[in-house]
Structure 1
């Protein structure tokens, strides 16, 4: 592993920062998933990245994974254009929680890489990446961290006038077209919000041949990489001096291709209902009371080449959250609460064959607390969570798990503008339904999945140390972390081939879920110059992670070590930028993985101009992705050998704000 080289690079970048002069005025972006409503710059014990404004619009892709793939410590599963989920520090799936406005998305994207996240980034106001003690508020599925998509469908403030945004963009690599918009207004004390998104894209162009190291394989466009998405949402709130209460409803329809040899498609649909409320000073000693509830009706069909469904996935989920933030007591300020989840999940055969996962009823009841205080100059943060999870399949053995999680950390500003911090966490995760009860074909991944109802709960012990420069035109941070996980669950491709019934055949690869102790460790460093001010700005970063099984060998689908640099210029109506990410070759393979991924360079650029047109701010923009048309195969993709990322792509469009 290249941790030593990464730390050396960080030290060199730190030395460079001492050459900078002056102070930058940095806008404060509130992290909504944080219990204390702290700003992004305060997230030292729970390291956060907040994408918002122009930065979010420049990085926006057709999936959440693509949008976040160049953030520090974040990679993507890259299962074609339609399905790409964020991977945080080498942890993916059920270990990274997906939220929408602070509530679980409740899709099935954590089950398999071919399942898209049912949250639309095109209408998001901001996207948050959060780790550390605050993540304990959101469940055992946040061992690796969480991603929160904030679209403000339930308004929390009264707009003084009608406001909105409409954006149209096109892309050359896939003949893509995207139209998205939001509209907010208020009548007396009633606030309302509307948003929507339409996306159509064909199969995308690839730089070389489809199959790695096979010059005789197809070229030109990647078959079955097309996408079609429709989303819409409406919400309203009653807002007064005491707080607010509101509700929203949204609908998502998403059809996308799976660029495997089988050429499957996924037809995904979700209807979501949410309730949100906040009461200020509900009673003596408490600052706020929050209540949230969400009901999700999710389903998708995996469709074969003949156009007929093969497997039907369904998930009906009801989640509630109660949170009380208390006033400081003996110097401690914090939030305590209760969370419940009730789900019915299934993955049933549509062809009369064996079911992939039987109908399973799951419940989760949890209580949590997160507190912060100051011990002299040291800022201290701690959290704890207890949870009971039950899994009750219609066929099979019922299981229940008692989970405990805790985290604490401290931050010491040893000299003005510089800080040293450390975080320790202990977290447990119950095996997911598919890890326990799978026993059937999963055609989109070309596997026959076999779970184990006797699995034990996962237990993670993590330590992280961070060093930061937090003021001035030049700011930087460096993190090192080590995560030991007992009874880590992963899918093992055995090499056996089975038919749809699970008998010896030649259609599907046998994938058995197994448990073993594992260690994930790594390092990250990032330096930014004038990130939000006018004139020139810049960023350099590096990250590396390594996941190993204690009994020998690597964890599957590990991220490559990366270094990157970007520069931008902003003055008046003009804004321009250029970024380059270099990923090293990745040959740290699991025992059943057959090929390493080569190194690649990804060069992106952006140019925009904003003008006034009456009451509108019109922004004309041009984005270029993979300018050098490099062949990019990411090590975290199950399809890395047969599905490279898109080639050179020019994105053009206009955005109107009023």
Structure 2
């Protein structure tokens, strides 16, 4: 106890050592003209500043050690260099003009590097860009990222799919901690709003080395919005309207930062009616969502910390058949009500040349499902059968047919060792303690506790012509079911990767990695009807770990006017867990068993981005994605996305009246999916046309960001292969026009 008190006292006392200040000048390399508002940022410290009218900048209170310094501004190549402090000289930077979009820092990989410096291939997209394309929800938006799709139930519920793997095989991180929200269910969505999320990063392939179990297929890493820079504040409000659902989402936020303390908060509300196709509205795809985010940060020279909290409450209609045709927004029966709380703490202690990162998370997920009353044959019929599905009155008390509360504590502690020559090394300890409790008559999974612990070590090695990253990890999981089942799982995994230049402008990345996933509670213990999927599921307590090995090769060619990329992967998954009907019926519901078999997934992405000289304002982009999944017996895996080809024509200008003006036309062609699982049906191909424009205008001396976009402009009737409404022949969303306004104070 005394040692803990000494540690807390140490962290609470501001350091008395001499302070380091980084200062210098940012100019255009060709003209030597000063660059105003260039961003200077140190990602490890999460400290930043901007250059003034003369191109000068200054950043005080930097501890001793080696840190990456990133300098960026629109229209120039992003500059990156490591500096060892104490550093007394001026750090002047010359930026090279470029039509290529400036690079951003990758947070999901351990060394916080630009993608051009990263050994692992990571896809990154800002939420602002996803909204500009007309995304209705976060789950809808991620489908525009290469290699990412979504298993959907209408518009409101979506689960990420990375290169054919989904559910518990894809790990989601929010606020720096792993998100746990009963993600085993096909109709269990993310439980997150895009409000207050700055960007999304996708690691495609096994990331068990960095994140442990459930990162078998990849990681979806959601970066929260940054705090304001020191001695600055900002307020903003936005409104988005969607014509198809006659819905809206609106949010407002405020953030301010002093020298040491900083805070932010953001609230949002969204309401949508049933989405519309060319022929009908899809009954009970309506939903409501309320979201609140808040953050508090504190930083001195040797220590920084931030505390963030998010509560999200969603009422989500569960569609069954095409029924009433209205634009009401209150969900009918059946519907879900999900409340998700995420409290996270992220702290770093800086030593001379090293640092200690401590991330803690408390998560509380309360999932309720409400069903329509079941009538027996001898009950008197009513003239109006629609009463069964009427939306409940606001003051009517409904009893949940199913209620599960999932409580999770997770921790992630990493020590960044001092740089030794060419080696950057991190060692870490991660773990989780979780309990699931039922509070209603029906049960999908039993009461149980789960405990995880894992240790890892990874190094980034810098050579003159190559960068290498290696690492290893050991994990142990214990699942204790209150009915008497006790299961233990363990796994040892490793990863190795290399990045090098085959030629001056050709970069190649080769990554080899293993990963694992322990069976979840549903797969081990299910014994009942899963109402959302209309099947009776029987678990298998003899299931083993899923274990995989993936090889990933990425090639990139880039010059001033053209970028070409090609990614290929091969993923071998042993003991792949899947559901299969056994031909029996229980309570007139087909029975499905959980089985295992070895499987293989392979495919990749290829694309080109062309911006010809002197038409640097013109961008032509084209990309193709493909994935195939098979068992060793050559039977296809279910829920594998269809191949797709996306072509985009985009223009960008910066006139005085409308700054940062853009416009685009996009055509996405999804091909027929006939490589289907034993109990799937094939899906026809289709093409969807989208377009949009936007820019920033000055209104009352402040910025107003205007976005207008349209999706499925030809009102095509189609069915996506990953739609859970496909068995009933229900179409996906028709034409939708989105108008978005954001006012910044």
Q: Secondary structure at the match of 2:485?
A: coil
- Summarize the Cα distance change of 1:402–1:181 in structure 2 as closer, same or farther, 3 Å threshold: same
- Summarize the Cα distance change of 1:588–1:31 in structure 2 as closer, same or farther, 3 Å threshold: same
Equivalent residue, structure 2, for 1:15: none
Equivalent residue, structure 2, for 1:290: 357
**2:662 aligned to which of 575, 581, 588:** 575
C-alpha distance in 1 between matches for 2:192 and 2:230: 25
Q: Secondary structure at the match of 2:446?
A: strand
Equivalent residue, structure 2, for 1:51: 125
Equivalent residue, structure 2, for 1:115: 188
Structural RMSD (CA): 2.1
* Structure 1 residue 31, shift from structure 2 partner: 1.5
Gaps of 5+ in 1: 1-21, 209-219, 500-504
Q: Secondary structure at the match of 1:81?
A: coil
* Structure 1 residue 605, shift from structure 2 partner: 1.0
Query: Whose radius of gyration is greater, 1 or 2?
Result: 2
| Contact 2:297–2:305 (CA under 8 A) maintained in structure 1 | yes
* Structure 1 residue 261, shift from structure 2 partner: 4.0
Equivalent residue, structure 2, for 1:274: 344
Equivalent residue, structure 2, for 1:82: 156
C-alpha distance in 1 between matches for 2:364 and 2:611: 44
1:303 and 2:389 are equivalent in the alignment: no
- Summarize the Cα distance change of 1:333–1:549 in structure 2 as closer, same or farther, 3 Å threshold: same
Deviation by residue 1:136-161 (Cα, 9 ceiling, x = unmatched): 221221111111111247x4x64322
1:491-640 equivalence runs, <5 A: 491-499=579-587, 505=588, 508-530=589-611, 535-572=617-654, 573=658, 574-593=661-680, 595-640=681-726
| Contact 2:207–2:218 (CA under 8 A) maintained in structure 1 | no
Equivalent residue, structure 1, for 2:147: 73
For normalisation by structure 1, the TM-score amounts to 0.88
Equivalent residue, structure 1, for 2:309: 249
Gaps of 5+ in 2: 1-96, 323-332, 374-397
Which deviates further from its counterpart, 357-366 or 634-643? 634-643
C-alpha distance in 2 between matches for 1:472 and 1:102: 35
1:227 and 2:287 are equivalent in the alignment: yes
**1:333 aligned to which of 412, 417, 424:** 424
For normalisation by structure 2, the TM-score amounts to 0.78
1:655 and 2:728 are equivalent in the alignment: no
| Contact 1:483–1:521 (CA under 8 A) maintained in structure 2 | yes
Q: Secondary structure at the match of 1:357?
A: coil
* Structure 1 residue 541, shift from structure 2 partner: 0.3
Equivalent residue, structure 2, for 1:5: none
- Summarize the Cα distance change of 1:632–1:65 in structure 2 as closer, same or farther, 3 Å threshold: farther
Q: Secondary structure at the match of 2:144?
A: coil
Which deviates further from its counterpart, 456-465 or 257-266? 257-266
| Contact 1:46–1:131 (CA under 8 A) maintained in structure 2 | no
* Structure 1 residue 23, shift from structure 2 partner: 4.8
* Structure 1 residue 98, shift from structure 2 partner: 0.6
| Contact 2:249–2:270 (CA under 8 A) maintained in structure 1 | yes
* Structure 1 residue 328, shift from structure 2 partner: 2.4
- Summarize the Cα distance change of 1:433–1:133 in structure 2 as closer, same or farther, 3 Å threshold: closer
C-alpha distance in 2 between matches for 1:467 and 1:47: 10
| Contact 2:554–2:568 (CA under 8 A) maintained in structure 1 | yes
Deviation by residue 1:100-119 (Cα, 9 ceiling, x = unmatched): 022111112x2112111022
| Contact 2:600–2:632 (CA under 8 A) maintained in structure 1 | yes
- Summarize the Cα distance change of 1:602–1:243 in structure 2 as closer, same or farther, 3 Å threshold: farther
Equivalent residue, structure 2, for 1:31: 106
- Summarize the Cα distance change of 1:371–1:314 in structure 2 as closer, same or farther, 3 Å threshold: same
1:323 and 2:414 are equivalent in the alignment: yes
Q: Secondary structure at the match of 1:329?
A: coil
- Summarize the Cα distance change of 1:131–1:591 in structure 2 as closer, same or farther, 3 Å threshold: closer
1:264 and 2:352 are equivalent in the alignment: no
| Contact 1:88–1:145 (CA under 8 A) maintained in structure 2 | yes
Aligned length: 607
Equivalent residue, structure 2, for 1:196: 267
**1:136 aligned to which of 182, 204, 209:** 209
